[in-house]
Structure 1
Amino acid sequence: MGLIIDNGNMYEKFKKLLNQDFFVDKSNIINDFNKLIGKDCRKNVCITKPRRFGKTSIAAMLTTYYSKGINSQEIFDKLKVSKGKSSDETEKKKEIEQYREFQGKYHTLYFDFSSELYKYKTLKALLDDINKMFKEDYEKLYPGTEVSCDSIVKNLEKIYDETDESFIIIIDEWDSIIFSNNFTPDEKVQYLGFLNSLIKDQGYSSFVYMTGILPIAKELYQSTLNCFDEYSMLNDDEYYQYFGFTEQEVRDLCKEKKKIKKKNNKIKYKDLENWYNGYKAYNGEKIFNPWSLYHALENDKIKNYWNDTGRFDELVNIINFNILGVKDDILELIKGKKKKIELENFGAENILDEIINDKETSKNDMKTELYSKMVTFGFLTYYDGNISIPNKELEEKFVKVLNRNDDLKYYYNMIKNSENMLNMTLNNNPEEICKILEKSHMAIIRPGDKIDHGNLKHVIEFAYFNARIHYIVNKEVSEGKGISDFIFYPKNKRQKVIIIELKVNGSAKEAIKQIHQKKYYNDLKNRGYTGNILLVGINLNKKQKSYSCKIEEYDNELKILKSDNEYLPNSENKKQLISDNEYSPNSKNKRKTDQESDGIYKKLRSATKKKKTD
C-alpha cells in the first residue's frame, strides 16, 4: 500500500466506517460500477454532491475493494455487494460473478486534490509532487523498475505500453483547486487540461470514479472535460440512493439504535425526518443528510449539525441585503412554500467563464445561477421544477441569517447604496462617494473598533457589490510594478476600467500617486481594454472618521481627460496645505493583508453569532 497506489489511508478509513455503530451498507454501488469497467463510452463517472454526503466514504470503499495490494475478500463477502442486487436471477448471478472477478484485481490510483493545498505555490509544484509520490510507490511495488518521466500521465502511458497493466482511478474532491486561492485562473484552466489528459481515451484506465461539489466545466476551450457521465444534485437518476440516507435506511438505523440501547433512545424517526430529511431524488424519493443524521443518532440529540458554515456565510449578505429580491424569496420558502424556477447545473464553468470569456451576466441569470449554486451546495433542494428549504436544520440556518441584519448594518448600508456608488464613480463624483462611505461608517463603527487597510478593503468590496454585474472585480492584483488594491475589469471591454487604491491616515492624492508610480494600468490596452481608465484614490482619516477621494480619468492611450475631481473634508484640506509628501513605503500606517484583518471583519460581521449557540 502506498500514498497513490492502493492507498493505505483509505483502507483504514473504510475499516473505521465498518466499525461504526450506525454503518449503512452502500456496497451495491460496486455492482453498478463493475458493469462499467472497460467500457470506453461509460467507464468514467463523476459524482458531485454537497459536503458530507458520503462521496469520500464511497471512494474509501472502492479503493479497498479493487486494490491488488489490499486483502479485502473477508470484508466484502459480508456486505451486500457479494450477493448481487438485481431482482432478475440471471442478472444477479452475473453480478456475483463480476464481484468475484474484479475484487482485488487492479491497482488503484487515489488522488485527493483537497489535501494540503496550502503547501503548493504553483500547480506545477503540486503535479510534480503527485508524480514523485507515484514513482516512489511504483518502484517500491516493483523493485528494480525505474519510472523516469517527469509527468504522471507519461509514466502511466509508458507502464501500460510495457506491461499492459491498467488501473482503477479514484479522484476525490476534484474541484478543490477551482475553489482554492492558491492558484491563478490560468492554472485552474491548465488543471482541467491535466485531468483531461489523465483520463480521456487512456488505455491504462479501466474505470474512473471522481467526486466533488462542483459539476464539471465542459466547454472551456482546449480544457474540455467531456469524457464523464456526471451525476449532480440537479441531475442524478442512477446513483442518488448511495449519497445520503434513504427513508428505509433511516428507519433501519432507528431499529438498530434500539438494539444497541445507546443512551436514552429518545430520538424517533419522525424527529429525524423533520430535521434532516427533505432532499429529493429525481423521482421524489426522500434523501436525508447523512452527516447530521449520524451525529443525531450518535449523540441521541436533535440539533443543528450543519457544518458547511463557510459557504453558507457567503450567502449572508446576498440574503440580508435582498440582492435581486433573494431575501423576499427566502422568507416565502421559510414559510414552507416552494418557488417555481428553471435551474441549470452550477459548476466550475460559472466560476471560470467570467475570467475566460469576459461574460456579462444579466440579473435574471445571476438569480438563476445563485439558486443553482444553493442547490449544488445543499442549502436548497430542487424537485419537479421547484426550489424549497429541505428541512428544519436548514430552515434554522436561514432564520439565523435573517436575524443578523442589525450586526451587519454597516455593510447593509454599503450594499444598499452600491449601485449609486458605482454610478458616482463612473460619473467622477468623489464628494458623493465620500458621503456614502461616511454615512455607513457612522452607522456602525463604535468606539474601540479597529479599522485598518485590510478591513477597509472589505468595506470597498461590499460598497461596490453591484459592480459584479458588469465587472470582474479583482483585489490585490499584481499589475505593473506592484499590487493594486482593486482593479475592476469591465466584461464589455469598451467600458471604463476602474483602478482603486486605498489609504488609511494618508491622502487620496497619495493613493493616486502610488497608482502612477506602480503603473497598475500598464498592460490594459494590450489585453484588449479600449475604454477609458478611472484612477480612484480613497483615504480614511481614522481620527476624524472622514473620507477623501480623488478621481482621474484617462483614455486608453493614457492621455489625461479629467484630473481635478477631488473631495477633501475640512480637516484633511488643512493637513494637505501643510504637507504634500510622497507615499512612503516605510510609513507607520503599513497596510494589513486580508488574512491579518479577517478576524476583525468576521467579528464585525457576526457579533451575535457568538451570543446565539445551538
Structure 2
Amino acid sequence: MGLIIDNEDMCEKFKGLLEEKYFIDKSNIINDFNKLINRNSEKYVCITKPRRFGKTSIAAMLVMYYSKSIDSKEIFNKLKVSKGKSSDNKEKKNEIKQYKEFQGKYYTLYLDFSSNVFSFKNLRSFISSINSKLKIDIEELFPNSKVLKDYDDDIVYNLKKLYLETDKKFILVIDEWDYIITNKKFTDKERYNYIDFLKYLIKDNSYLAFVYMTGITEITKYLYSLNCFTEYTMINDKNYYKYFGFTEDEVHKLCKINKKLTFENLKSWYNGYKSYNGEKIFNTWSVIQALNSNIIENYWSQTGSFNELKKMNNYDIVGVKEDILELINGNEIEIKLENYGVEDIRKESEEKEHVKEILYSKMVTFGYLTYYNGKISIPNKELKEEFIKALNDKESDMQYFYNMIKNSDEMLEVTLHKNVKRMYEILDKSPMEKIILEDKIDHAHLKRFIDYSYFNARTKYDIVEEYPNDNGTTDIIFLPKEKDKVNGKIIIIELKVNSTAKEAIKHIHRKKYYNGLKEKGYYGNILLIGINYDQKKVKYSCVIE
C-alpha cells in the first residue's frame, strides 16, 4: 500500500466504514463499474453530488476492492457485490464472474485534489508533490523498476513508462476534481492549466482500465478537453443515484437498528431529494449524525453554511425574491434546468448578470434545491431552515420576511386569544411599502405577507389558500391537523386592500365560507378574521369574530 498507488488511508477509511453501527452496503455499484472496465468509450465515469453524499466513501471502497497489493477478498465476499445484483440469472452469473475476476486485479491511483492544497504556492508545486509521492510508491512496490533510474518531472510520462514495463493497467480514482476550479487560491490561468493536466492524465491513455472521478460541480458538455467522461449529476442520473444518499428502504433499516428515532421524523427533516423517477433520497450525513446522537436537528450547517446560501441567492435577478419566498412556503417552481458546471463558474466570474436558470442549477448542484419533473423545490425541513436563516440579511429587504417568520408563533397565539392590538403591533413590524417594488401593494402581496406572518402555524394547521365552497373561495383557511381535527379551532381569513376589516367579515358571512366544514369532520370553534390594509394611511385594521 502507498500514498497514491493502492492508497493506504482510503483502505483504512473503508475498513472504518465497515465497523460503523449504521453502515449501509453500497457495494453493488462495483457490479456496475466492472461492466465498464477496459471499454474505451465507457470507462470514464464522473459522478457529481453535493457535500456529504457518500462520494468519498464510494472512492474508498473502489480503492479497497480493486487494489492489487491489498487482500480484500474476505471483506468483499461478505458484501452484496459478491452475490451479483441482476434479476436475470445469466447476467447475475456474469456479475459474480466479473467480481472474482477484477477483485484485487489492478493497482489503483487515488488523487484528492482538495487535500492540503493551501500548503503549496501554486498549481505546479502541488502537481509536483503528487509526482514525488508516486515515486515513493514505485520505490516501495517496484524497487527494481527502470522508471526509477530515469524518473521524470512529468507524472504522465512516468506512468506510461511503468505500464510499458509491467504491462499492468491502473484504476484511477479522483476525488474533489473541481476543488481547484472553484477555489480562489488559484488564478484563471492555473485553472485552465489544471484542466489541460487532467486531459493529459486521463484521456486516451492506455495505462488506464477505468476512471472514477467525483466532485460537486459537473465538467459540462462544453468542456471538450474532458468530453471522454459520461457524467451523472443531481439533475441527470438514471444509473447511480441510489448509491449516493440513502433510499427510504435503507433508512427504514437504520431505524430498526436505532429504535429511538422514527422514520417519519427523519423523513421530514432529511428526505426530499428526488431522483429522475421521483424516488426520494436522504442526506446521508444528516441521517447518520441524527442516529448517532439520537437528536433530530439541523446538521446542514456542518456541511455548508447558510452564508454560502446567502451569497448564492442573487436577489437582483428579476423574479428571484418572489421565487425564494414561494419555495420557502413549500411550493414548487416550474423551470427548465440544465446541469451547472465549470463553464457556468467562469460565466459568474466574467458576467454581472446571471439568469435564473444558472442560479437554480447551481442551487440544485450544491444540494440546496431538488429538481424533478421540470420543477424545483426545497427538499426538506433542514434545508428550509437554511433558506429562512439566509433571509436574515441586514443588507437585503428580505430580512422583513425573516422577522415575520420569527414572530409567527406569537402571531398565531394572539390570534387564537383574539388579541387584536398585539396582532396590529406584529403586522406593523412588516412594513410592506419598503419591500414591494414601487409601493404597489395589491391583494396578492397582502396575502403573501399574511401567509408569512402565520408561517409556523403549519406545524398545527393545514393552511389552504383559495379554499372552495358552494359560494366561492376564501382567501385563507386554517384547518386543524388530523390529531386536532375534531376539537381544534378553525381560522378563516378574508383580506381587503383599501376597504375595511368589517367589510371583510361581512364578505365571509355573505359567502358562508364556514358551511360544509362539519361534514368534513371539523367540529371545533371557528374564528373569522377580517384584515384590511390601507395604502394611504400605511396601516392595518383587523376584526376577529
Q: Distance in 2 between matches of 1:75 and 1:192?
A: 36
- Is the 8 Å Cα contact of residues 76 and 82 (structure 1) preserved in structure 2? yes
1:398 matched to 2:387? The reply is yes
Separation in 1, partners of 2:156, 2:241: 31
What does residue 96 of structure 1 align with? 96
Q: Please list the CA deviations of residues 262-297 of structure 1 after superposition, one character each: whole Å capped at 9, or x if unmatched.
A: xxx1x1111111110000000000100000011111
Deviation at residue 179 of structure 1 after TM alignment: 1.5
CA–CA separation in structure 1 for the residues paired with 2:345 and 2:386: 25
Deviations, residues 366-405 of structure 1 (Å, cap 9, x unaligned): 2111100000000000000000000000011111222x13
Cα contact 1:339–1:387 (8 A) shared by 2: yes
Amino acid at match of 2:329: K
Tell me the equivalent position of 2:334.
340
**Shift in Å, 1:336:** 1.2
Aligned mates of 1:89, 1:196 — CA distance in 2? 39
Q: Which residue, out of 260, 273, 279, partners 1:279?
A: 273
Give me the identity figure in percent.
59
Q: 2:263 aligns with which of 254, 265, 269?
A: 269
**Which residue number corresponds to residue 306 of structure 1?**
300
Opposite residue 327 of structure 1, the aligned amino acid is: K
* 1:366 matches 2:355: yes
The structure 2 residue matched to 1:185, chosen from 188, 198, 202, is: 188
Deviation at 1:353, TM superposition (A): 4.7
Q: Which amino acid aligns with 1:371?
A: Y
Residues 317, 164 of structure 1: alpha-carbon distance in 2 compared, 3 angstrom cutoff: closer
Q: What SS class does the counterpart of residue 355 from structure 2 fall into?
A: helix
Q: How far 1:151 sits from its partner (Å)?
A: 1.1
Q: CA deviation digits over 1:32-59, x for unaligned, max 9?
A: 0000000001001001000000000000
* Corresponding letter in the other structure for 2:211: V
SS of equivalent residue, structure 1 residue 304: coil
Structure-1 residue corresponding to 2:23: 23
Q: Offset at 1:191?
A: 0.5
Supply the AA of the counterpart residue of 1:60.
A
Q: Report the counterpart of residue 225 of structure 2 in structure 1.
A: 224
Map Cα deviations across residues 321-359 of structure 1 (whole Å, 9 max, x no partner): 56433222111111211000011111111123566xx6x
SS at match of 1:224: helix
Distance 2:347 2:204 in 1: 26
Counterpart in the other structure of 2:461: none
Measure, in 2, the Cα distance between the counterparts of 1:309 and 1:412: 24
Distance 1:354 1:323 in 2: 13
1:327 and 2:316 matched: no
C-alpha separation in 2, matches of 1:74 and 1:318: 46
1:153 to partner: Cα distance: 0.6
Superposition deviation, residue 161 in structure 1: 2.0
Displacement of 1:4 in angstroms is 0.3
- The TM-score with structure 1 as length reference comes to 0.62
1:518-567 deviation line (CA, Å, top 9, x unaligned): xxxxxxxxxxxxxxxxxxxxxxxxxxxxxxxxxxxxxxxxxxxxxxxxxx
Provide Cα deviations, 1:481-513, integer angstroms capped at 9, x if missing partner: xxxxxxxxxxxxxxxxxxxxxxxxxxxxxxxxx
1:293 aligned residue = 287
3-state SS of 1:390 partner: coil
- Please state how far the C-alpha of 1:317 moved relative to its aligned partner: 5.1
Per the alignment, residue 515 of structure 2 pairs with none
Question: 2: distance between equivalents of 1:26 and 1:242?
Answer: 6
Other-structure match for 1:443:
none
CA distance in 2, matches of 1:121, 1:289: 35
Structure 2 spans left out of the alignment, 5+ residues = 401-545
Indicate how the Cα distance of structure 1 residues 411 and 385 shifts in structure 2: closer, same or farther if over 3 A, else same.
Answer: closer
- The question of whether the paired residues in 1 share the 8 Å contact of 2:317 and 2:355 is answered with no
Give the whole-Å Cα distance in 1 for the aligned partners of 2:397 and 2:371: 34
Report the equivalent of 1:61: 61
* Aligned counterparts, 1:10-49, within 5 A: 10-49=10-49
Map 1:561-580 to 2 at 5 A.
none
C-alpha change, 1:411 and 1:393, in structure 2 (3 Å) is: closer
- Report if aligned partners of 1:317, 1:412 keep a CA contact under 8 Å in 2: no
Q: Are the aligned partners of 2:309 and 2:387 in contact in 1 as well (CA < 8 Å)?
A: no
Looking at structure 2, the residues matched to 317 and 34 of structure 1 have their Cα atoms a distance apart, in angstroms, of: 41
Q: 1:69 deviation in Å?
A: 1.2
Mapped to 2, the partners of 1:386 and 1:411 lie a distance apart of 23
The answer for unaligned runs of 5 or more in structure 1 is 259-264, 414-614
In 1, the alpha carbon distance for the partners of 2:176 and 2:314 equals 31
Work out the CA distance in 1 between the residues paired with 2:22 and 2:8: 23
Q: TM-score, normalised by structure 2?
A: 0.70
1:379 and 2:373 are equivalent in the alignment: no
1:137-156 alignment, distance < 5 Å: 137-145=137-145, 146-147=147-148, 148-156=151-159
* Alpha-carbon separation, structure 2, partners of 1:254 and 1:322: 44
1:189-208 to 2 correspondence within 5 Å?
189-208=192-211
Whether the 8 Å contact between 1:218 and 1:349 is mirrored in structure 2 is no
Shift of residue 250 of structure 1? 0.7
CA distance in 1, matches of 2:61, 2:338: 31
Which residue in 2 is equivalent to 1:163? 166
Q: Structure 1 residues 411 and 83 mapped into 2: Cα distance closer, same or farther (>3 Å)?
A: closer
1:229-248 matches, within 5 Å, as: 229-248=230-249
Amino acid at match of 1:116: N
1:318 and 1:374, CA in 2 relative to 1: closer, same or farther beyond 3 A? closer
Q: Which amino acid aligns with 2:201?
A: L
When residues 25 and 411 of structure 1 are mapped into structure 2, their CA distance, relative to the original with a 3 A threshold, is: closer
Render the CA deviation track for 1:178-231: whole Å, top value 9, x for unaligned: 1222211011011111111111111100000000000004434xx711010100
